[in-house]
Chains A and B, each alone.
Chain A
C-alpha cells in the first residue's frame, strides 16, 4: 500500500530556532516529492524534488531528497512566527496521476 508519513506530527519552537521536518514514503513508481505550506486556506507550493542529493533552497527554507532511503527533509533556519503553518509532503506516482499526501506537520513558532 502506498503511503507517506511525516514526522513529527506537531512541533513548537521559539523564534530563531532551526527545525527539520521529515517525510518518508513508500510509493510505487515514484515521480516526484513536493512540499507545501498551509497557513489558513490553500496550501502554497514550496519545493519539488525529483533527484537524490540535490538541495533545493529558498531563503531560510531548504529541502533534500534521498531516493535510496525513501525520505526527504525540509529545513527551516532562524524560524519566525510567520513560519507557523502545517507543512505537507506529497509524493507523485507515475501510476495514474496520483498524489499521496503525508500526515502533515503542524509547526508553531512562538516569539
Chain B
C-alpha cells in the first residue's frame, strides 16, 4: 500500500508560538491531501483539503488564517498552527487517496502549554 509519512509525531510548544506539521507521500504523488483533527475516542474531523499548487479548501468553522496549509509539491503538504493556544492541543492527522482508498500518516500529537 501507499505510504504517507507525517512529522513530527508529537510536539509540545508554548502558547503563542507556531508549529509546522509535515505530511509526505513517499511512494506516490498526491495532488490532494486531507488534514484532520481528532479528539480522544472520537472520529476524525476534516479540517481542510489541500490541493497541490492551489489554495486549500477549508471546512466550515476552521480558521484559515490560524491553520495555514501549503501544498507546494506533489509529495508534500504542510499544516502550520499559528499562534497556538491550549485549545489547539489535539491529534492532527493527514491522509491521501490512492485508488479510492485513503492512506493515513501516523499523526501528530500537539500539546500547547
Contact = CB atoms under 8 A, between A and B. Distances in A.
Q: Label chain A's interface by main secondary structure.
A: strand
A86 B39 CA distance: 12
A29 interface: no
B22 to A, nearest CB: 15
Given A41-B107, A42-B107, A48 B43 contact: no
A92 B1 CA distance: 18
Q: How many of chain B's residues touch chain A, expressed as a range?
A: 20 to 34
Contacts of A102: 43
Q: Label chain B's interface by main secondary structure.
A: strand
Nearest to A42: B104
A101 B32 contact: no
A31 B44 CA distance: 20
Interface of A: 6, 10, 31-32, 34, 36, 41-43, 45, 48, 86, 88, 90, 92, 97-99, 101-104, 106
**Minimum-distance CB pairs A-B, first 5:** A104-B43, A42-B104, A41-B106, A41-B107, A42-B106
16 contacts: A36-B102, A41-B9, A41-B93, A42-B93, A42-B107, A43-B104, A45-B101, A45-B102, A48-B101, A86-B41, A86-B43, A88-B43, A99-B97, A101-B46, A104-B41, A104-B42
